């Protein structure tokens, strides 16, 4: 007996209607889109090769990063020895540029210094010799962690600076161990991109004017009340997304040049951010914290407050902890933003090229022709082999494309040239399930089953094979997405979405068509759908 629950019928119809609705914005002009509701303005973004724009491949100078790290380690060791009032000689960088060596005047103090440095330089390998010579070396894990952090920081800095330019849908991603790919659709001047990425961001630490506190502002961000001449109102985005303006002293207490590192950590079972200053910054920070206990200081990046914590204690060694009502994600993002104040290492342009809009237009035109040809040929094949049931599969295929474009629009996905290839491939694969089902129905009819029973059995028995075949393809798409970059990921996304949607259209939607037709033909009135 063929039966489709009424709620399933409405679900299938609703998905199809929503597909039509959310794919519609892709057919409208910009002026028409502006008249649509905000929730109905999502369209598919075109990638670099379709829209035109700039492509840069940048190399991060990780040797410079490791050199800075080793120099900071040398400063930490020197400060520790002086703090403990330990005599030493020959404090120099090792020949491998990843270690620091020195000789203690009193070898009996080796154990004390080893414990102290271990606490200060986490993860370092410390070796001692009988003559008082000690070596503090970075382990491979420390080198890898620092390189990874430098790459993350570089990507965050680049993203932050490009976002400020208003460029839509930039592609910024890591490639290999030390390179970054930057693709900016619609930006046709690589020199402008290099200038934008290479500019210096302004990171500063300034005291909050507690006598004024929060400042009311007008629609343009100008204070609506009088504030002291030595104070300015700067915006801060709160946890709930709202923006408030805080009164901040104009005098810069410490610049971001003195910030060495910022890391996410757990402090007293709560998310926090640890910050570390160089020797000059540590001295200034100690003075400021001693003079302003229980008062707030603002961390400002490009004239926007990213956090305003309170001095809860005097920070004497340049290592502070910013704590508060953070979530793990917020604390991690804050540490990245603090590190994003300046690039951690020089960037070298390895490759640059410009894709013209005319080439992109040609690619779109060719992609459309390929997709239309694929659709027409597949539709003709299905109709020629399965007549009316083939027509049902063709209708489902049309909805497959509609729902696919709707999904890409809602996800704000970037469509690339390989993505178009993925759509064309999906068209061919979308009817695979119908071929399996229809051939199974034919086989059941040859075994003497009545048409209604053959249809029901065909859909049930073909389902396992359909799921297995599509699951293996999904695994391949997942691998491409995980290990691929740029256009390869675009291909994987469209292929995976197309497969998932085809399972819905080729099984549920065609089954609804077939059941409706069979009931009308057979006059089966006791099987409500």
DSSP structure string for 461-499: HHHHHHHHHHHHHHHHHHHHHHH--THHHHHHHHHHHHH
Residue 422, φ and ψ in degrees, nearest 5? -65, -35
DSSP structure string for 224-257: SS---TTEEEEEEE-TTS-EEEEEEESS-SEEGG
Number of H helices, E strands in the chain: 15, 19
Strand partners, 205: 254, 299
Mark out the alpha helices in 24-84 (DSSP H runs). 30-34, 48-51, 62-83
Could you give the domains of the chain?
6-47+357-522 (1.20.1640.10), 53-198+340-355 (3.30.70.3400), 202-335 (3.30.1360.200)
Burial class (CB in 10 A: 0-12, 13-18, 19+), 17: exposed
Strand partners, 274: 263, 321
Nearest CA-CA partner of 319 in 356, 354, 267: 267
Nearest CA-CA partner of 462 in 514, 402, 391, 525: 514
Strand partners, 92: 101
For 84, residues 6+ apart whose C-beta sits below 8 A from its C-beta are: 109, 112, 113, 116
Q: Where are the beta strands (DSSP E) in 241-343?
A: 243-249, 254-255, 259-267, 270-277, 297-301, 304-307, 319-323
What is the dihedral sign for C-alpha 109, 114, 115, 120?
A: positive
* Distance between CA atoms of residues 211 and 316, nearest Å: 26
Q: How far is CA 150 from CA 143, 159, 284, in A?
A: 11, 14, 26
Crossing angle of the two packed helices 432-446 and 451-483, in degrees rounded to 10: 150
Tens of pLDDT, residue by residue, the chain (529 residues): 467 888 989 999 999 999 999 999 988 887 888 888 888 888 888 777 777 788 888 898 888 888 878 877 887 788 788 888 888 888 888 877 788 899 888 888 888 888 888 777 777 888 888 888 888 888 888 888 888 888 888 888 888 777 756 666 678 888 888 899 888 877 777 776 777 676 555 678 889 988 888 888 888 778 888 888 778 888 888 877 788 898 998 877 887 778 877 888 887 778 888 888 887 788 888 888 888 888 888 888 767 887 888 888 888 777 877 776 677 877 877 776 666 666 777 788 888 887 766 656 777 788 788 888 888 998 999 999 898 999 999 999 999 999 999 999 998 887 877 888 888 888 888 888 889 899 988 888 888 888 888 888 888 888 888 888 889 889 998 998 888 766 788 888 888 998 999 889 988 899 899 888 887 776 544 444 3
Output the six-digit token pair for 396.
């489902």
Inter-residue contact 433 to 458 (CB < 8 Å): no
Residue found under tokens 């690589």? 190
* Distance between CA atoms of residues 352 and 57, nearest Å: 6
């Amino acid at each position: 007996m063929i039966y489709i629950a009424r709620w399933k019928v409405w679900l299938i119809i609703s998905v199809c209607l929503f597909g039509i609705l959310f794919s519609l914005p892709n057919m409208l002009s910009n002026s028409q889109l502006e008249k649509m509701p905000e929730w109905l303005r999502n369209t598919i973004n075109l990638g670099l090769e379709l829209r035109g724009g700039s492509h840069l491949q940048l190399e991060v100078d990780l040797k410079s990063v490791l050199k800075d790290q080793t120099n900071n380690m040398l400063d930490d060791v020197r400060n520790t020895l002086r703090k403990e009032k330990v005599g030493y000689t020959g404090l120099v960088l090792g020949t491998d540029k990843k270690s620091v060596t020195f000789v203690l005047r009193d070898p009996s103090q080796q154990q004390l210094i080893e414990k102290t440095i271990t606490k200060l330089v986490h993860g370092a390998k410390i070796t001692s010799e009988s003559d008082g010579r000690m070596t503090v070396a970075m382990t491979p894990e420390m080198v890898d962690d620092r390189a990874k952090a430098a790459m993350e920081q570089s990507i965050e800095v680049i993203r932050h600076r490009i976002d400020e330019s208003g460029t839509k849908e930039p592609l910024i991603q890591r490639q290999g161990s030390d390179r970054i790919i930057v693709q900016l659709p619609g930006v046709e001047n690589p020199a402008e991109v290099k200038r934008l990425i290479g500019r210096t961001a302004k990171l500063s630490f300034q005291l909050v004017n507690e006598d004024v506190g929060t400042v009311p502002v007008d629609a343009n961000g100008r204070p609506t009340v009088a504030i002291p001449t030595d104070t300015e109102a700067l915006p801060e985005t709160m946890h709930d997304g709202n923006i408030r303006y805080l009164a901040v002293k104009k005098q810069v207490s410490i610049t971001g040049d003195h910030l060495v590192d910022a890391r996410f950590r757990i402090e007293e079972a709560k998310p926090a951010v640890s910050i570390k200053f160089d020797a000059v910054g540590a001295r200034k920070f100690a003075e400021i914290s001693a003079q302003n206990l229980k008062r707030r200081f603002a961390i400002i990046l490009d004239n926007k407050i990213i956090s305003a914590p309170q001095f809860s204690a005097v920070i004497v060694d340049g290592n502070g902890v910013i704590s508060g009502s953070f979530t793990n994600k917020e604390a991690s993002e804050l540490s990245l933003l603090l590190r994003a104040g300046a690039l951690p290492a020089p960037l070298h342009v390895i490759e640059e090229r410009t894709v013209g809009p005319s080439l992109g237009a040609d690619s779109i035109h060719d992609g459309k022709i390929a997709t239309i040809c694929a659709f027409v040929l597949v539709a003709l094949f299905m109709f020629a082999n399965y007549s009316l049931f083939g027509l049902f599969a063709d209708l489902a295929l049309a909805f497959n494309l509609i729902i696919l474009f709707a999904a890409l629009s809602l996800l704000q996905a970037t469509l690339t040239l390989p993505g178009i290839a993925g759509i064309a491939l999906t068209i061919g694969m979308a009817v695979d399930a119908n071929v399996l089902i229809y051939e199974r129905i034919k086989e059941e009819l040859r075994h003497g089953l009545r048409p209604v029973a053959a249809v029901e059995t065909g859909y049930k028995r073909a389902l396992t094979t359909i799921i297995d075949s599509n699951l293996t393809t999904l695994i391949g798409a997942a691998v491409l997405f995980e290990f691929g970059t740029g256009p390869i990921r675009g291909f994987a996304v469209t292929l995976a979405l197309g497969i998932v949607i085809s399972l819905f259209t080729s099984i549920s939607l065609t089954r609804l068509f077939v059941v409706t037709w069979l009931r009308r033909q057979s006059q089966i009135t006791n099987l409500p759908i």
